[in-house]
């Protein structure tokens, strides 16, 4: 008895890997896609991480890198692209962490005001911070192959971000991560407000 010949799938029935889940998202690997990633990183997550870094510098004297924060929040944007979105998430967290680090360095300007130092011209400050940023990028490009590829050194923050980008394609895990991040942020704001109110009451 002859076996029935399987019907080939109709053209266009296979989903395009670059096709987003939501209509309002641009198609992957297009100009609008990269504009979306760059805009979110430089205009939203980068400044948010910069404010966080500046606050930590003023209160603790040091700051933790914004890779993990940018990785979690960036995954919200790239979730609509499915498993392929982790590449866009990596792009967002890298760019946003760089912007946050540069923005966090601007506490030097406030420190100069507090110390009564003369303020340089704006273009000199822009040039100064730009040179520091480019120097950091250049050193990273030179030392990364040596430290990571040859010496096989471990970077916990790098592993954390890689695991975040890989795991947050799961919607349940993404919602849980956002919930914990929001809960931690709300708890920190509440503790800061209570501390400020207590200090004000003691002054009076």
Ordered by start, the domain boundaries in the chain are 31-120+157-177
How distant, in Å, are the alpha carbons of 1, 21, 75, 191 from that of 81?
Answer: 45, 6, 10, 37
Task: Report the C-alpha gap between 16 and 186 in whole angstroms.
Answer: 40
pLDDT truncated to tens, each residue of the chain (204 aa)?
445 555 554 444 444 555 777 777 888 888 888 888 888 888 888 888 888 888 878 877 777 666 777 777 777 778 777 777 777 777 787 788 778 877 777 788 888 888 888 988 989 888 888 888 778 777 767 776 777 677 777 666 666 666 666 666 677 777 777 787 778 778 877 887 888 888 888 887
Residue 13 tokens read as 């029935």
What's the CA gap between 57 and 70, in Å, rounded? 18
**Contact 89/177 with Cβ under 8 angstroms?**
no
Contact criterion met (CB below 8 Å) for 136 and 142: no
pLDDT at 65: 65
Predicted pLDDT of residue 148 = 67
| pTM beyond cutoff 0.75 | no
**Contact (Cβ atoms closer than 8 angstroms) between residue 68 and residue 157:** yes
Query: What is the predicted pLDDT for the residue at 5?
Result: 53
Can you give the pLDDT at residue 166?
A: 66
* C-alpha to C-alpha distance for 103 and 113, rounded to whole angstroms: 17
């Amino acid at each position: 008895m002859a076996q029935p010949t399987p019907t080939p799938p109709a053209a266009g029935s296979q989903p395009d890997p670059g096709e987003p889940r939501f209509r309002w998202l641009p198609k992957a690997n297009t100009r609008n896609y990269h504009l979306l990633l760059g805009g979110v990183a430089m205009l939203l997550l980068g400044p948010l991480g910069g404010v966080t870094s500046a606050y930590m510098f003023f209160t603790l004297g040091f700051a933790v890198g914004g890779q993990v924060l940018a990785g979690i929040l960036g995954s919200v944007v790239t979730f609509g692209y499915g498993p392929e979105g982790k590449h866009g998430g990596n792009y967002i967290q890298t760019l946003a962490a760089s912007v946050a680090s540069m923005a966090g360095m601007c506490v030097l300007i406030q420190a100069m005001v507090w110390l009564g130092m003369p303020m340089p011209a704006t273009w000199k400050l822009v040039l100064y911070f730009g040179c520091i940023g480019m120097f950091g990028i250049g050193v990273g490009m030179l030392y990364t192959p040596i430290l990571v590829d040859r010496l096989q050194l471990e970077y916990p923050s790098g592993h954390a971000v890689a695991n975040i980008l890989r795991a947050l394609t799961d919607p349940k895990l993404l919602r849980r991560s956002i919930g914990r991040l929001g809960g931690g942020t709300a708890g920190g704001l509440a503790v800061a407000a209570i501390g400020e109110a207590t200090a004000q009451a003691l002054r009076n």
